[in-house]
Structure formats: structure tokens, C-alpha cells
Amino acid sequence: MIVSTKGRYALRVMIDLAEHQSEKYTPLKEIAARQQISEKYLENILKTLVQNGLLQGLRGKGGGYRLTRDPSQYRISDILLLTEGNLAPVACLEPGADCGRLSECRTYEMWRGLDEVIRAYLDKITLADLARPAQAGDDYVI
């Protein structure tokens, strides 16, 4: 599994909005500038997030984007599954995959176990976890 730029940028946008939460909408231009991502590319990602209810969008003056719920209610796995389609580490675990070697495959259970670990790990992390401000002392370097 390699997470594409679409998935990584979606996470960055969601974290950005969680960090800059307010009652107002945040303009696309501001998000793009803070994250150093092309506005044109972000439009497509934000459209997907709005269509699936993760964000609210408003056009016109005072428009932009904002989260639809508290950051603690967004699981990272949900954001990545939405933008990536699936998180399977190998093609035979993708939905609808038909492997003729499944009955004799010695690695299938290993890959299935890895898939379960990845999903369980990402299910535990919320947007709030990633948007937390750095704690004092977190910048210590050896």
C-alpha cells in the first residue's frame, strides 16, 4: 500500500481545518497557501470530501470550507479509504479480487494479517490526535 498524494493532501487539509477551526468558512486560497498545495489540485480533493459529508463548502463571499463535526469524530482510516479506495497491501485483498492461487497461497494469511493491523492502527487515530498542538518539550533534539 502506497498512499497517493490525494490521500496525503486530504489528510493535510483536514488537519489544517481542524487546527484553524472557527464558525467561519476557510477559503480555499488560505488552505492552499498554508499547505503549499496547488489550488486546482485541492479543488478536486475538497469536492470529494464535501460530497461525502466530511466537509461543508460554501461558495461566494465569506465562503470556503469547514469540518462537519468535531475532529475527534474523524478516523484517519475513513479519510484514507475515501480518497484511496482501499488500503490493501496487496492486490489479492482488494474488493472483488479473484486470485486463482488462493487455495495454495502460502502468503495470503500473512498479507491478510498485515491488512488487519494497518486498518486497526488507522482506526485508532483521529483527526484530533493529529491536530493537537505540539506539547512543550516535544522539540527536544539530540
- Give pLDDT, residue 84: 94
- Give pLDDT, residue 139: 54
In order along its 142 residues, the chain shows pLDDT tens digits of: 789 999 999 999 999 999 998 889 999 999 999 999 999 999 999 999 999 999 999 998 889 999 999 999 999 999 999 999 889 988 888 888 888 888 899 999 999 999 999 999 999 999 999 997 655 455 555 5
pTM, two decimals, is 0.85
Do 68 and 55 form a contact (C-beta atoms < 8 A)?
Answer: yes
CA distance 8 to 57: 20
Map out the domains of the chain with their CATH numbers: 1-133 (1.10.10.10)
